[in-house]
Structure 1
Amino acid sequence: MTSPELARTLLAHGRHTTGPIVERYLAHLAAEGVLAIDDPGEAFQLFYGLVIQDLQIRALLGETALPAGPRELHTRRAVDRFLTLAAPPAGHPPAGAGRVSPR
């Protein structure tokens, strides 16, 4: 990136803002037994990589973004892959299994 100011802005209002929020959520899911992860930061990087792949850099280079339908399919597949990779071992129900959480 040729603009240090743009790079700082993108980091400040992107990764440095959303990363900690998602990491806290992943840590919560791990504490509940929904995910089997040791490091929420590393899990976020994995999740982000599966969802974003090279789409962000291609957009920054001027390529047209995926239309809504293919983008939704791409996102669903990425989430499914992440959940497969971060799933607790078979036979270990989540800590909150059977409990209804208030919303």
Structure 2
Amino acid sequence: MKRDFEAKKEALMKEVRSVLSDVEALTKDNVERGVEETRALREKLQDQLDRAQNKLQEFESQASEQIRHRVKQADELVQDKPYYAMGFAALAGLVVGILLNRR
């Protein structure tokens, strides 16, 4: 699951880098190119930007769905075994207290 997340993140970053490089090319070559070429490049850039936005929205929805799932699992665990959750919280508090007192 983490590999899939990382692969999607890398694909999105690649798309964003591509859009940024095209924007840079558009600004550098804008003076030298004709109106038609600039318009075609602008359309290509808009298409790439739309694809990147769609990938970002998909990535965001998948990430939020995974977070909701994990939160639900944690909530069910705490509901099923409340004493384990209280013990873990107490242990974490003890460790943090000891670390803070060392300062």
Task: Please indicate, yes or no, whether the TM-score normalized by the shorter chain is above 0.5.
Answer: no
TM-score after normalising by structure 2: 0.30
TM-score after normalising by structure 1: 0.30
Larger Rg over CA atoms: 2
